[in-house]
Amino acid sequence: MKSKSTLKQIALQLGYSVSTVSKALTNSPEISEATRTKIKEFAKMSGYKPNSMAQNLKRQRTNTIGVIVPNILNPFFAKVFSGIEMYANDKGYNVITYISNESMEKEKQAMHMLSNGTVDGFILSIAEESQILNEMSHFKEAIRDGIPIVMFDRTSDNVECDKVIVDDYDSAVHAIQHLITTGCKRIALLTCDASLSVSQLRANGYYDTLKKNNITVTDELVILTDTVAEFDEKLTHLINNVSFDGIFALDEHASTLAMKLAVKKGIKIPDELQMVGFADGAWSRRLTPSLATISQHGPQIGAEAAKLLIDRIEKKSEKNKYKTTVIKTELRYRDSVKKSKL
C-alpha cells in the first residue's frame, strides 16, 4: 500500500519549513497566494491527507455533535435530524445519532458514552421517561463538565441551556379557535403522551381557548393518558358512546386512531366531526379524508439547534447567557376541517 505523504516530507521536497507548509494548507494569510497554491498542488499530487485527529486534539475539539432523539420513526424527529445534519455538515461537523426509545437509562448511557471526548456537545429532545420522573441530573452533569447542550421540542425549565421550541400553546389556541369559529361546540382533547412538556402546553391552549369562548370543559371529552392501551380503550368508548363535533389530537397515535374509528363508525368528516392533529407527517396527507395538522417546521428547528450549539462550541455565544428560540407553527388546512367564513 502506498504510504501517505507527510508535512515534513512535503517541506523537505519543496524547501520550505514545516510551519510554512502547514500554514499554506490551512489558508493562512501569512503565506502568499502563489506559495499556497504551489504547496497545495504538490500536496495533492503527493497524496497528502491531513490528520484530522491530530488537528482536533490541537483545537481541543472533535468537530462532532451528539444527537439524541426519543423516536426516529416519528416523522417530526426525522425532519429535525435532517435540519441538524445539513447545517452541521455545512459547518464542517459530523453527527452521531442515538435513539433513546423514550428510556431514561438509554438516554443516560448515550450521554455517558459520548461525554468522554467523542463529541463537542449535544442536541437532544428529552425521553418520555425522564420527563415523567423529572430526572434531569445527567443533563446538568454534562453542562457542569463543560459540554454544551441544546434541547429542542421537549425541554425542561430545570436545565439551564440553549433551547429551540415551537409555539405549542399558541398553535393549540389557533387550532381550537378555528374549530370553534367553524361551528364546533363539543371538542375532544386526545393524547397518549400526557406527561410530555409539549402535551401540557398544548392542553393548556385547549383549556384557555374554550374558557375564552365561554365553552365549558367537559371531562368526558378529555382523554389524557400515558399508555397506548389505556388510551385506545378510552377512545373507543368515547367514539361509540359520547356526542362531540370536534377533535384536537396532540400526538400521531391519537390522530390516526381517532380518524380510523370515526370513519369506521360512519361519521362524516368534516360535516359531522372536524379534526386537527399535531405533527405534519406524510401519513396526514394520505389519510382519507386528509387530516388537518399543525406543522412544526422540523428542518428549521434542527438547523437552529445546530447553529446554537456550534456557536456555543466555537464560543460565539456569551458564556452562561442562554437563548430560547421559538419557531412559529402553521395550521395546514385539509379535508378534516371546514373552511372559515371569516
pLDDT of residue 280: 64
Region at 60 (left for phi over 0; alpha for psi -120 to 50; beta for the rest): left
pLDDT tens for the chain, 342 residues: list them.
445 678 888 888 999 988 888 888 878 888 999 999 998 999 888 888 766 545 554 556 789 999 999 998 888 899 999 999 999 999 999 999 999 999 999 999 999 999 878 899 999 999 999 999 999 999 999 999 899 999 999 999 999 999 999 999 999 999 999 999 999 999 999 999 999 999 999 999 999 999 999 999 999 999 999 999 999 999 999 999 999 999 999 998 999 999 999 999 999 999 999 999 987 666 777 788 999 999 889 999 999 999 999 999 998 877 879 999 999 998 999 999 998 876
What's the pTM?
A: 0.77
Helix axes 252-265, 228-241, angle to 10 degrees: 30
Cα 95 from Cα 119, distance rounded (Å): 9
Cα 118 from Cα 23, distance rounded (Å): 27
pLDDT of residue 57: 46
pLDDT of residue 59: 52
- Sign of the Cα torsion 129, 132, 133, 137 reads positive
Residue that has been written with the C-alpha cell 455517558 in this structure: 112
Which of helix, strand or coil describes residue 182?
coil
pLDDT of residue 1: 40
